[in-house]
A and B are shown apart, each in its own frame.
Chain A
């Protein structure tokens, strides 16, 4: 049972454009939603994360929008750069129950930023 659905599977954006990746979750017990970035040959690296008590979090060019009632969250990359070309994973876990480390990942989005 896939508990976190991610779309699109792949995305091509021009340099300077906005990249948008969407995720939807099923388990209402999830209370921690991180996004990870993975380059080829590397492990995933935490990009930005949000808790459900806020609807938006921004860090530089990266913004998470969170809709608790719809059980959806999305990653927006503003002014996308070729260096942002990577695979992005959304994830979810449960902090309250002490299982924050047990991340449930989406299937990933391969982003390519063209010149």
Chain B
């Protein structure tokens, strides 16, 4: 079974631009979560999508948004990029909110550099 696929792996943008990152979950998984990883703040939860609906949201500004498609693939968008948005963005897929631990399987991430 293929793992979580994130594209692109690396991205360089300039301040003020916007960016879209893509995530393909493990086949059969219906829940996708996004995390931001930085040396200063560590791993922080951005949001979770299930059945094309946002279920949970972290404490990030509205510039960070996401969506999920009917095939469970997800995209996240960051508008008006700031230098502080430079980070590794991780996508995690899981079967769905079944009431169990809903184990998260992470992709390798997209490393975004904002210049």
A interface residues, Cβ below 8 angstroms from B? 32, 34, 36, 41-46, 49, 51, 89, 91, 95, 98-108
Contact = CB atoms under 8 A, between A and B. Distances in A.
B102 A101 contact: yes
B89 to A, nearest CB: 10
B77 to A, nearest CB: 20
Closest 6 A/B residue pairs (Cβ): A43-B106, A105-B43, A100-B102, A102-B56, A101-B48, A101-B33
Interface of A is mostly: strand
A89 to B, nearest CB: 6
A48 B53 CA distance: 29
Interface stretch (B12-20, B79-87, B90-98): B90-98
21 contacts: A41-B108, A43-B106, A45-B105, A49-B101, A89-B43, A91-B43, A95-B99, A95-B101, A98-B97, A98-B99, A99-B55, A100-B101, A101-B92, A102-B48, A102-B56, A102-B58, A103-B43, A103-B45, A103-B104, A105-B44, A106-B42
